[in-house]
Amino acid sequence: MTRLTDEQKTEYFRRSYTAVDGLWFMKVEEKLGFEEALRLDEAVWKILPKIQARTLKGMMHLPGGLAGLEQALSARLALEGFEFEIEPREDGLAVIVKRCPWHDIMIKSGRGALSERVSDIICRVENSVWASEFCGEKDMIDEGKVREGEGQEIGFLREERICRGEKRCVLRFCI
C-alpha cells in the first residue's frame, strides 16, 4: 500500500474543496440562474470564513488584531494555493496576490468573463469576514489591561484586482 505524503494529502483536500465549491455553484445556477446562485454563494461565504478563521486562530493559538490576522491569512492563502506576499503598511497590512487559484479556475473552466462579477461579491465578503474575526471585543486581562491587538477595528478594501485584468490583487487590511 502506497502512503500519501502530507503534500499529497493537502493537494487532495484543496482540489476537493475547490471542486465542491464550483459544482455546488453550477448546480444551483442550473436550477435558479446565475444571480440567485451568486446570492446564495454570498450567504455561504458570510459563514465559511468565520469557521475557517476561528479554526486557524485556535489551531495556531493566534491573538486578535493585525498580528493574528496576518498569520492566519498567510496560512489560509498558502493552503489554498495562492502566490502572495504580505507587506506591512502604516495603517495595517497589504496582501499582494500574484496568482489567484479561484480566478485561474474560472479561466480554465471557460467562465473568465464572470470572474469579476463573482469577485465583486465573494472576495469582498470573504475578506471582510476574515478581518472582523480578528477585531472582536476588547479582552481584559490582569490589572484591567487590554491584550495587545484585541479590540482593533480592522477594515478591508481592494486596490487592484486580477479579475479586472490587472497584474495583481492588492488586498488592504487597515486599522
CATH code: domain of residue 109: 3.90.1520
Q: Which helix (DSSP H) or strand (DSSP E) does residue 47 occupy?
A: none
- Binned at pLDDT 50, 70 and 90, residue 136 comes out as low
Does the residue 132 lie in any domain? yes
Whether residue 23 is contained in a domain is answered as yes
pLDDT at 151 over 70: no
Please tell me the distance from the alpha carbon of residue 167 to that of residue 3, in angstroms, as a whole number. 39
Query: Regarding predicted confidence, which is higher, 148 or 136?
Result: 136
Sheet holding 169-174, edge to edge: 83-89, 92-99, 169-174, 155-160
| Beta carbons within 8 Å of 77's beta carbon, 6+ residues apart | 84, 95, 97
pLDDT(142) > 50: no
Has residue 108 been placed in a domain?
A: yes
Per-residue model confidence as pLDDT tens digits over 87-117: 999 999 999 999 999 999 999 999 999 999 9
**Torsion, Cα of 114, 121, 77, 61 (10° steps):** -160
pLDDT value, residue 52? 97
pLDDT value at 138 more than 50: no
CA distance 19 to 76: 17
Band (123; pLDDT cuts 50, 70, 90): very high
In terms of Cβ atoms closer than 10 Å to its own Cβ (0-12, 13-18, 19+), residue 153 is exposed
* Alpha-carbon distances, residue 59 vs 56, 128, 156 (angstroms): 5, 21, 24
Give the pLDDT of residue 40. 97
Q: Is pTM, for the whole model, over 0.85?
A: yes
Query: How many structural domains is the chain composed of?
Result: 1
| Residue range(s) defining the domain that contains residue 126 | 6-174
Residue 19 neighbours by CB distance under 10 Å? 11
Give the closest residue to 161 by CA, choosing from 81, 85, 97, 87. Answer: 97
Q: Residue 111 carries which side chain, given as an amino acid letter? A: R
CA distance 30 to 35: 11
Q: Which parts of 25-154 are beta strand (E)?
A: 83-89, 92-99
Residue 1 lies inside a defined structural domain of this protein: no
Residue 2 has what pLDDT? 86
Average pLDDT over residues 145-170: 82
**pLDDT grade, residue 147 (50/70/90)?**
very low
Q: Would you say residue 5 has pLDDT above 50? A: yes
Mean pLDDT confidence for 120-141: 82
